Every structure is written in C-alpha cells, then in structure tokens.
Amino acid sequence: MKVIGLAGWSGAGKTTLLTRVIPHLRRHGLSVSVIKHAHHKFDVDVPGKDSWRHREAGAEEVLVSSGNRWALMHELRGEREPHLPELLQKLSRVDLVIIEGYKTESHRKIEVYRSANGKPFLFPADPDIVGIAADVAVETALPTAHLDDIAAIAAMMRRYAIPIEDILAMAQG
C-alpha cells in the first residue's frame, strides 16, 4: 500500500484532477482510495435521517450499511482532529492511497496549481512537494506535468508514492 498526496490552494482543481486520474489508475489495474481533508463543519449525513439522528443523540460512531456500500462516521466531540497516520491506519488495503489536501502534514505531495487562482506556488516553501501539475510552464528542477496530461500525472503519482509503513515510521520517530 503506497501513499501520495495532492496539495494546492482551494480552486486549483484537486478534486477535478482526482476524478480524472482515478479511472486512469484503475484501468491500469490499481485499487485506489482517497483521504480528503474537509472544512470543520462538513457533513456526509442528511439531517433528519436515522443515522443523523443517532449522531445528534450522542453516538460516538454510526456505521450505515447497505447492499451497495457502508460508511462509518465518527464524531470527535471536542477531541483533536486525527493526524494523517492515524487515518491511514483505518483504511482497507489498496494499491494507492491519494491524499487530497492536508497541505501542512508531512508526506510526499504533488502540487496542483492553477494560474487563474492568483495564489503563489507551495513548492518553494514545502520540501515534501515532489512534483507539480499545473496549467502553466513552471521553472523548477521538480518533475512537472500539464493538468490535462492525466497519464503523466498518474505516472508521477506512482513513481513518488511511498509505502504507508514509511509514513507511519516518520510519525513515530
């Protein structure tokens, strides 16, 4: 199981890129999971539905299951947000885990950059950035790919992904 991140400012196109890269990786025989960092008050549950009511009543965790999928929701209830290594350990084994966001956590990342955002690049200041996917030419020694070159971005992700054990070891020491 290997891990690679996508980092960039909001609006850079991380999610759009992932929706294009994941099918490419799957066509090449890889199983893929995603960990996405969200805003503080996000919700995957529908207010008023049973599982929502269970959480609102104080359940620590609610697992919803059907013939098509299952989802586990865990309420922090004032506890600190788990760090990335803790979350990675909760996933089922796959070939590649792609982390969307978590730009301040320490793991290998490919920066997603869109010039229309008007934001600066992250890579000069973040030593964990190992490549760049952008809609403009970038002067850097890092590997780069155009945002529309899905095959090149997928290859970069596979090349620079590191074993989950390396991330867990870094977190412990």
The answer as to whether 47 is a domain residue is no
Number of separate domains in the chain: 1
Q: Is residue 97 part of a domain?
A: yes
Give the mean model confidence (pLDDT) for residues 66-79.
87
Instruction: Establish if 92 belongs to a structural domain.
Output: yes
| Model pLDDT, residue 4 | 97
* Per-residue model confidence (pLDDT) at position 40: 67
CB 20 within 8 A of CB 115: no
Is the pLDDT at 65 greater than 90? The verdict is: no
CATH of the domain at 94: 3.40.50.300
Q: What is the mean pLDDT of residues 34-44?
A: 79
Residues of the domain holding 166: 2-40+82-172
Residue 146 lies in a domain: yes
| Other beta carbons within 10 Å of 113 | 24
Per-residue pLDDT of 107-166, as tens digits, reads 999 999 999 999 999 998 999 999 999 999 999 999 999 999 999 999 999 999 999 998
